[in-house]
Structures are given as C-alpha cells and as structure tokens.
Structure 1
Amino acid sequence: MASKEVKQLIKAIEKQGFRVRPTTKGHYQVYKGDAFVTVLPGTPSDHRSLKNSLTYLRRAGFQKPR
C-alpha cells in the first residue's frame, strides 16, 4: 500500500495528463503518452527513490503543486 505522500503525488500526476499503472510488486509506473517516465515507490522505506522519481517527472514536464 502506498504512503499518503505517494497517493497525493499520484493524484497530481494524473491531473497533469500522465498515466499511472500499479505493478505486481507494489510500485507505480508513470507514463507520459506512450513514453515511460519513472517508477514510484510503493512504500516510504527508500526516501531517495521518491526524490529521484520526482526529478524524472520534472524533466518530463510535471510541475509539483505547492
């Protein structure tokens, strides 16, 4: 189950036109159109993973809401 922070991020990502797909391992794959962007962590255990994913999202045009 995703953390509260990841759930909020997924909602914001989808509002900006990205597609989020859960994996069988509990992570979330993010696509912009047909292009793969990144994988979001399913748990908050690896804090760097979420920060790295945000970097890839920003490069793909995502603007994090304040």
Structure 2
Amino acid sequence: MVIALGGVHQVEVGTLLLPADPQEEPVKIPRDLRQLARRAEAAGWTITLTSNNHLAWKPPSGRTVFCPSTPSDHRSVQNVIGKLRRAGLNTR
C-alpha cells in the first residue's frame, strides 16, 4: 500500500511508514491513527516526525497538533483524535 504524507510517497511496512527517499527517517504512525493520517493527508495536512520522536500534524491553515509516535496509555489515541478534531480535521 502506498500512502502520500506531506507530499512524499511512503510505503507502509508494519508500524512504520517508510519514505520513498532512503535518506529520510521513517515516520512511525500508531496503528490506530493510520486511517486518520490518510484522511488528514487527503485534506491537505502534513505529518512529520519531530526531533524528539513526536508526530507534528500540520493543517493547511491553523495550529500544529503534536502527539507521541508511541502512545503510552489506552486514552492516548482518543486524546489525539480530540486534539485533531478541535484543530479542524473531520475525524468521522
């Protein structure tokens, strides 16, 4: 399966999204957020990995939403979905 995130085509392998360019770092997307990542990309959002291994979800306009690339508890995914919804992403 090929996914475009941030304008760069990436190939999904396990829990990583590997960039087409082998020089770039893979972007780790938690399994529960992958479908949401596809939706965000289709809506013009970009998702990048920060230097401290967090995901930065950048909408076409508005504020950037940061979330961990490795959720630590069972509420983490629901909290990220809520943050993205408040930032303007259609999560349903």
Separation in structure 2 between the aligned mates of residue 21 and residue 34 of structure 1, nearest angstrom: 16
* Equivalent position of 1:41 in the other structure: 68
Q: TM-score, normalised by structure 1?
A: 0.68
Structure 1 position 52, deviation (Å):
2.1
* SS of equivalent residue, structure 2 residue 75: helix
Larger mean CA deviation between 19-28 and 49-58 belongs to 49-58
Separation in structure 1 between the aligned mates of residue 50 and residue 38 of structure 2, nearest angstrom: 17
* Equivalent of 2:52 in 25, 31, 36: 25
Q: Is the 8 A contact 2:63 2:87 kept in 1?
A: no
- The one-letter code sitting in structure 2 at the alignment partner of 1:42 is S
* Equivalent position of 2:77 in the other structure: 50
Q: Percent identity of the aligned residues?
A: 31
- Cα RMSD over matched residues? 2.1
Q: After superposition, give the CA deviation of every residue in 1:3-36 in whole Å (9 maximum; x if it has no partner).
A: 2223332222111221211112221111112532
Q: Is the 8 A contact 1:21 1:30 kept in 2?
A: yes
Choose between structure 1 and 2: higher helix proportion.
1
* Equivalent position of 1:4 in the other structure: 31
Query: What are the ranges of 5 or more consecutive residues in structure 1 without an aligned counterpart?
Result: none
